[in-house]
Structure 1
Amino acid sequence: MSKADLHLVNAADEIERQFRSVMRRLAGGVSVITAGRGDDITGMTVTSLTSLSAAPPRLLVSINRQASSFSLIDRHRLFGVNILGSDQQELAARFSNGKLKGKQRFEGISWFSGTAGVPLLDNSLATIECQVEEIIERHSHGIVVGSLLGFDLSHRLSGLVYWNGQYVDIDDDSDLNELANCSVPFAHAR
């Protein structure tokens, strides 16, 4: 490797590090993606869930192809989405814990099998069962497009957000009123 090649590698590493810092400034809702059936189940915490289309209802999630969840989603062509509430930080940490694998992540917590057989977490703000419509593989990740098979919506309104490397609670009763008082009207936004 020449000095010029070494410089390019170091520059690329620095750009990736800075990119991660930039992306930490983007707040993201916290969800757990679940996959598998029977005893062969797993799940992972994500902030990459987003709506793709309302008509027809489609969502997408970006998942590292090395993650155990990816292989189960690819094999079964089904997955669950569990949108977490502000009181579920421990659950988010559990499903991002690299020491726990597969079914271990579900031990000691309340969950159930959805109508399609996908594991779903009790007490989530919302749960969604999806069938894989398409997986678009790019670089280290697969962009999984899901069509909705069914969903359940809680009456609770207290979300969990990941921002700047930490979990942040959003409580409907206090935080939304505070945000409404300090928000800038769209017409004046830059």
Structure 2
Amino acid sequence: MRQLAGAVSVVSVGEGAHRTGFTATSVTSLSIDPPSLLVSLNRNSASWPIVQRYRRFTVNILSSAHRQIAETFAGRRGLRGAERYADARWQQHGQAPALIDALAVIECDLDEAIERHSHAILIGRVLSVSHRTGVDPLVYWQGDYRRLDTDADDQ
């Protein structure tokens, strides 16, 4: 699976002291009508009960400048819950925080959670989308964060 490159997102959930979130590379579009997406979440994660409680989450697609945020929400700095929000600029966006300078912010209602093996497949119905242009995405490939070479010639 290390050969499968993926865009890096932070999925944020909850409010106030109940805010938490996780880094995800398993986010994908499901349908346009209705607009919806899929997110895979480990059910052993501290985020799982918060997703079940609030039933709303925000997918913050990270730019190449957000490596530190990705590592924080992946648990690599030892911070948990609301502590993970300290080093970046967030705003409350509905019922879940949104990263102010994210490449894109997608707010979703939890339409369904399908439990399979160690994970839950979250089906999110898209409520709103905002995005920026002129910034490169953060990508995860072969166990490390990468950025796209957008200046490469098309062959």
Tell me which interval the TM-score lies in, with the shorter structure as reference length.
over 0.9
1:101 corresponds to which residue? 80
- Tell me if 1:163 matches 2:134: no
In 2, are the aligned partners of 1:135 and 1:145 still within 8 Å (CA)? yes
Partner SS, residue 94 of structure 1: helix
Larger radius of gyration: 1
Paired-residue identity, %: 43
Identify which of 134, 140, 150 aligns with 2:118. 140
Q: Aligned-pair distance for 1:171?
A: 4.5
Identify which of 91, 109, 115 aligns with 1:112. 91
Identify which of 34, 40, 57 aligns with 1:79. 57
1:31 corresponds to which residue? 9
1:185 corresponds to which residue? none
Q: 2:100 & 2:135 partners in 1: Cα distance? A: 15
Q: 1:156 & 1:136 partners in 2: Cα distance? A: 36
In 2, are the aligned partners of 1:157 and 1:171 still within 8 Å (CA)? no
What amino acid maps onto 1:81 in structure 2? V
The TM-score with structure 1 as length reference comes to 0.78
In 2, are the aligned partners of 1:29 and 1:160 still within 8 Å (CA)? yes
| TM superposition outliers: structure 1 runs of 4+ over 6 Å | none
Report the RMSD for the aligned CA atoms in angstroms: 1.1
- Tell me if 1:126 matches 2:89: no
2:41 corresponds to which residue? 63
Partner SS, residue 89 of structure 1: helix
1:16 corresponds to which residue? none
Q: 1:164 & 1:171 partners in 2: Cα distance? A: 16
Partner SS, residue 88 of structure 1: helix
What amino acid maps onto 1:46 in structure 2? A
Identify which of 13, 18, 28 aligns with 1:40. 18
What amino acid maps onto 1:26 in structure 2? L
Unaligned 5+ runs, structure 1 = 1-22, 182-190
Q: 1:117 & 1:69 partners in 2: Cα distance? A: 14
Unaligned 5+ runs, structure 2 = none
Higher strand share: 2
The TM-score with structure 2 as length reference comes to 0.95
Task: Deviation per CA, 1:40-96: give whole Å up to 9, x if none.
Answer: 101111100000011211100010001111111111100010000111111111111
Partner SS, residue 59 of structure 1: strand
